[in-house]
Amino acid sequence: PEDVKLDFAFDNTRFIRASIAEVQTTVVIAFLLVILVIFVFLRDWRITLIPTLVIPISLIGIFFVMYLAGFSINVLSMLAVVLAVGLVVDDAIVVTENIYKKVEQGMSPRKASIEGSKEIFFAIISTTITLVAIFFPIVFLEGMTGRLFREFSIVIAGAVTISAFVALSFVPMLSSKMLKPKTKRGKWHEKTEAYFDKFNLFYEQMLQRFLARKWLIFPIIIFTALLIVVLWEIIPAEMAPLEDRSQIVLRTSVPEGATFEFTRDYTTRISEIADSVAPERVSNLNIIRSGMGTVRLTLPDIDQRERTQMEIADELSKAVRNETAARTFVQQQPTFGGRRGG
């Protein structure tokens, strides 16, 4: 009818889209920072390009693992992708650096690629198995934790396995084509060489001092173990931190036998209080049913308001305490669960 207007009361996909967009941005930032760090330390664009190319190839493999496992692109699977960006280049950097060292010693790029990767093959396989052994057992966790982090563990384990395969096949092939012995260093290399020499010297001296006092490792292990126990007891525990989803719900439980009119009027009163405490709201939905009234506030996105959802909820809790004809509770949507659908 002409006098009826349809609109969205609330939309849970808003914060889902926002979360995924934020993780996508993080992936891009991580990718750029990885490239920058590799270049700063390796100081050559050719050497930097080799492990950099490993990242998109490994990511394609990661998404294929997700596709085969029937996973969706969600916050936890994308969190694994963010972490994987840093993990997948580790093996490639080690293999590339070892190959380049042999090229500098006078070996041909092709021979250096074969010998360099063969020399470090066992180390790459052992570190890969170690990482998989750390992340994969999360699959066997039960309950909510297991359901949440199953995708995370499989994606990470798959990423590490793929990166090892790429580092021992694609990287040596690429190194044989791209690496060339240099007779002249670039300006960046010359400016930073003194710093890296000092850094290497400092590391060597610290290592020698520590190896001369090997007994120190035992008190360090004991102290670390005790610190873990103490911090475990001190740090608060929760399933997940509350997320600002721009949604606040005020649920009212009316006395037994209350009429529909009483529930309607009391809910309207609560709605007016909510409007005065949170004038920045986008919408206000009142739901009246037998024995209960609900006021659902939809707030603007977090970057469009000065107060957080938690601060507004605290103020609403204080405001509704003075209303004693019925009991009103201020609720915020939990980070996990609470989804309705059919």
Q: What CA–CA distance (Å, rounded) separates 115 from 141?
A: 42
- What mean pLDDT do residues 130-152 have? 84
Confidence of residue 341 (pLDDT cuts 50, 70, 90): low
Q: What CA–CA distance (Å, rounded) separates 128 from 87?
A: 10
Q: Which two tokens stand for residue 244?
A: 């600002």
Alpha-carbon 193 to chain mean position: 35
Reference 156, options 248, 229, 78; nearest CA is 78
- pLDDT per position as a tens digit, 151-188: 888 888 888 888 888 889 988 998 888 887 766 677 77
- What mean pLDDT do residues 324-342 have? 73
Q: Is the model's pLDDT at 124 over the cut of 80?
A: yes
Task: Compute how many other C-beta atoms are within 10 angstroms of the C-beta atom of residue 182.
Answer: 13
Q: Which two tokens stand for residue 334?
A: 């939990």
Q: Is the model's pLDDT at 337 over the cut of 70?
A: no
Q: Is the model's pLDDT at 89 over the cut of 80?
A: yes
What does 37-98 look like in DSSP terms, one character per residue?
HHHHHH--HHHHHHHHHHHHHHHHHHHHHHHHHT----HHHHHHHHHHHHHHHHHHHHHHHH
Q: Is the model's pLDDT at 55 over the cut of 70?
A: yes
- What mean pLDDT do residues 309-318 have? 89
- What mean pLDDT do residues 266-277 have? 88
Average pLDDT, whole number, for the chain? 85
DSSP-based helix, strand, coil % in the chain, nearest 5: 70, 10, 25
Q: Is 24 exposed, middle or buried (0-12, 13-18, 19+ CB in 10 A)?
A: middle
Residues 6+ apart with CB under 8 A from 134: none
SS3 140: helix
Q: Which two tokens stand for residue 5?
A: 């207007």
Q: Locate all alpha helices (DSSP H) within 105-142, ordered by sequence.
A: 109-135
Q: What CA–CA distance (Å, rounded) separates 45 from 182?
A: 13
Residues forming a β-bridge with 253: 292, 327
- What mean pLDDT do residues 316-339 have? 80
- pLDDT per position as a tens digit, 202-260: 999 999 998 998 888 999 999 999 999 999 999 988 777 777 788 889 998 888 888 88
Q: State the chain's maximal CA–CA distance in angstroms.
A: 93
Residues 6+ apart with CB under 8 A from 217: none
CB 157 within 8 A of CB 136: yes
**pLDDT at residue 183 in the model:** 63
**pLDDT at residue 340 in the model:** 56
Q: What CA–CA distance (Å, rounded) separates 294 from 309?
A: 18
Range in 41-45, 91-95, 104-108, 203-207 with the lowest mean pLDDT: 41-45
Confidence of residue 342 (pLDDT cuts 50, 70, 90): very low
